[in-house]
Amino acid sequence: MKDTPTRAFFPGYVVPALLALLVAINLVTRSAYWPQRRGPLVVFTDGWRVSGTILLEIGLASGLFAWYILANDDRRQHLAHPILGAAVLVEIVGVALFVYGFFA
């Protein structure tokens, strides 16, 4: 069952746009901001965790766009699977870089 365009607007357009804004903030400040359990934010400035965070955000944004927008459009539905697969690979690489940053 496909989502209507109004139901797919927020997770398909707004959330990826906010994630793209986070990527821009991370690139400009050269740091990655993560929420902490107790306290406001923890800031990472090393290259491994910053690049891992950026890749994770890009993969998540492109995955949400492919899932909610491309998969629900009859003309562009054939693009959803390759983009979703690439998004998952980018997310895996991002998590791997982020975790490697703790040991490097």
Task: State the Cα–Cα distance between residues 62 and 77, nearest whole angstrom.
Answer: 14
pTM: 0.84
* pLDDT at residue 13, as a whole number: 87
H or E element that contains 21: helix 15-29
Find the helix packing angle between 80-103 and 47-65, rounded to 10°. Answer: 160
Which tokens hold the place of 55? 């890749």
What is the separation of C-alpha 39 from the centre of its chain, rounded to a whole number of angstroms? 24
Q: Which residues pair with 9 in a beta bridge?
A: none
Percent of the chain's residues with pLDDT above 70: 93
Task: State the Cα–Cα distance between residues 69 and 64, nearest whole angstrom.
Answer: 8
Q: Quick: pLDDT tens for 26-77.
A: 999 999 988 887 778 888 888 999 999 999 999 999 999 988 888 887 888 8
